[in-house]
Amino acid sequence: MKFISTRGGECVSGARAIVQGIAKDGGLFVPEQFPQVTREELEQMLPQSYAERASFVLSKYLDEYDAEELTRACEQAYSRFEGEDPAPLVKIDAGLYMLELFHGPTCAFKDMALTLLPYLLRKGCDLCGIKETVLILVATSGDTGKAALEGFKDAAGVKIMVFYPDEGVSKMQKLQMATQEGKNVRVVAVRGNFDECQTAVKKIFTSDACKEELLKKGVVLSSANSINFGRLAPQIAYYFSAYLDLVSSGQIDMGAEVNFAVPTGNFGNILAAYYAKRMGLPVGKLICASNKNNVLTDFIRTGVYDKRREFYKTMSPSMDILISSNLERLLFELSGRNALRVQMRMEKLAADGVYELYDEEKEQVRELLWADFCGEDETVETIYEFFEEYQYPMDTHTACAMYAAGNYIAQHEKDAAPMVVVSTASPYKFPQDVMYAITGNDIKDSFKAIKHLNIATAMKVPASLAKLREKPVRFTQVADKDGLYPLALGFAEEK
């Protein structure tokens, strides 16, 4: 399987796509074609463990990786999760299910990929004959940073540096990153928002001068953001697994369609569902849920992507994004894989802050996606009302998805497909906001909020968060967005 750039300038192996992270022309790597999963193969996957299912899906794309070794890597990665199933599907009500993706080491869905990415990257380096140290640069809106740091800590031949918006993540997310262990990790807060962090990191990746200077020092760049296909690919697997769980539990017949509601910021999570659909999984409608930063909702409804709007800091910070990088991969497919059209739109977005789809592309979007956004008051109300009815606590991002799912169901009574809401983080990652929503109590201290939330919900506190209070803060540096490369270079030079 070869991978090509969405902007047309490159064709590489899967291993090279993962190691490199982003194409030299600034585009994102996509598979040359979508591998298919037959009904017979789906039947064969029914009795498999999650790790076996994930390995099978990944092997469809990464055929140069040894299949048995890939399975062992998946088993090792997902053995770090709490509970027997890394991605359990919970039945809430008739036709309504929650896909819990927060049982990993950092209590967010990013663990589903970032516990496995170190293996994919190390093996990719071996397959490509790369001997240099790999420097991973990550821009994060909260969850990716911690999951990447935890996944790559003390990995041989790898250094990882994470940049996050100083005032754009929750207190718990900031503490998770600031206390990160590992000799090969570095964390820097950036004065600005996530889009500015992401843009600054992308500039480093697409700068020949930066890459040449690092290479002279024996360092090559890679990414752990979802712009890296090695981050995206493992996420495809949990959509297959959720579907198979519905079949094996007798909730649906094989072949019946299922809808998924996904809280969306950078568009990677919902794109993985789209890839699963393109591979043959019977996916119906994809519900794209945004928060107050509703650039994607407007895009899906109108076909116009316009980032020229006010940026809001919300209680769902991982979705506080106005430039959704992974949307470029969907644009590539909507355009009939027209790389020139994608490049022109990305240039127009950078220059003017806006672009518009053609009419036939708008129709494709409406057929595939349905969008809604959830404001701050609606987020609080959704968490409260859902807990009152089902005694099920959810985090702020999942609440946005549940709100959108509820609106879709109310407006599309003829669509009888089951609805799976993708739950992307533990409520304990945002304890103050969830506690306020459920009880009305405004608790300033994160750990007091965790204690009171545990009393109110009886939901088990993840061990990794319970231990945070005892960990020393290691990283306090704050930098301007224009000064990230010198910091990265200095980190690369450290022995």
Q: Which of 203, 204, 168, 166 is nearest to 187 (CA)?
A: 166
Q: Quick one: tokens of 423? A: 């739950």
Residue length of the chain: 495
389 CB neighbour count, 10 Å cutoff? 10
Please pick, among 110, 123, 277, 429, the residue that the annotation labels catalytic.
110
DSSP 8-state code for residue 176: H
Is 183 one of the annotated active-site residues of the chain?
A: no
Q: Report how far residue 356's alpha carbon sits from residue 349's, in angstroms, rounded to the nearest whole number.
A: 10
3-class SS of residue 30:
strand
Angle between helices 50-61 and 229-248 (to 10 degrees): 130
DSSP string, 381-403: HHHHHHHHHH-----HHHHHHHH
Q: Report how far residue 297's alpha carbon sits from residue 295's, in angstroms, rounded to the nearest whole number.
A: 6
What CA–CA distances, in Å, run from 312 to 168, 296, 299? 10, 14, 18
Contacts of residue 385, defined as CB under 8 A and 6 or more positions apart, other chains included, come to none
Q: Report how far residue 286's alpha carbon sits from residue 18's, in angstroms, rounded to the nearest whole number.
A: 27
What CA–CA distances, in Å, run from 412 to 41, 91, 406, 417? 32, 21, 10, 10
Residue 404, phi then psi, degrees to nearest 5? -65, -40
What CA–CA distances, in Å, run from 326 to 22, 228, 231? 12, 10, 11
Q: Which of 58, 218, 214, 28 is nearest to 137 (CA)?
A: 214
Q: Quick one: tokens of 343? A: 């490049």
Which positions are annotated as active-site residues? Answer: 110
